[in-house]
Amino acid sequence: MSELWRNLVPLVVASAIVPAPLVVTILLLRSSAATAGAWVAGMTVVRLLQGLVFGVILSDATTADTAAGREAVFAVVLLVLSVTLFVTAAKQLLGGDDPDAPPPRWMAAVESVGTGKAFALGAGLVGVNAKLWVFTLGAIAAIEVAHEGRHAGVVSYVAFVALVLAPQLAALAFALAAPARARRALDRIAGWLRRHNRTIVIAISLVFGTWFLVKALRGLGVF
């Protein structure tokens, strides 16, 4: 496995297991696969736009730098992401609500939305969810640090997005292939994710916050 993918795989896993997107996908599948597909499409479009915009920004910031300079930029990004995740974990441990989770009223109404609104909601969730921003920016920074060229960077980022969305795409495929079985199984999964959302968020934040911190300190030469 290349150094790039050693950095990307933890980011893929962390982003893919954030509960809220998968729970909403499952709820929308109760309405129709088209609505759920529009929701996933909205998330996909915003993720690709994030890659385009912030990839260009980071590329401009690191193109003229040495390899050591690019590593330092990546380390600083990881340090900021680590602090963000530790703050999220602290809020959850102190009993606060997940600030990135859709509000209960929104969740209750989600099954009645049409495809256009589902697309907008998918785009909006990715646009405002801090944890998803954390992992996406980390992936963009990792790709820029790898410095494998524009084409290879685009391919790597698209692969990152596809892997992150794999749980949603798998749920869609399951619902289309076996609707009756899928509804029962996916409802159980959604229920479990909602019951354990706080635990999952704390675990993601602590595990990956620590991973980011260690990588950042190594990149900065602290140890």
DSSP class of 103: P
pLDDT in 10s for each residue of the chain, 223 residues: 588 888 899 889 989 988 888 888 988 888 889 999 999 999 999 999 998 888 777 666 555 456 666 677 778 888 888 998 898 889 888 876 666 666 666 666 676 788 999 999 899 889 888 888 888 988 988 888 777 777 888 899 999 999 999 999 999 999 999 988 888 898 898 888 888 888 888 998 899 899 889 988 888 878 7
Quick one: angle between helices 67-93 and 130-146, nearest 10?
160
Q: What is the dihedral of CA 92, 97, 100, 104, to 10 degrees?
A: 150
First to last CA, the chain: 24
CA 166, CA 173: separation in Å to the nearest integer? 10
CA 176, CA 68: separation in Å to the nearest integer? 49
* Tokens matching residue 178: 């076996």
In this prediction the pTM is: 0.85
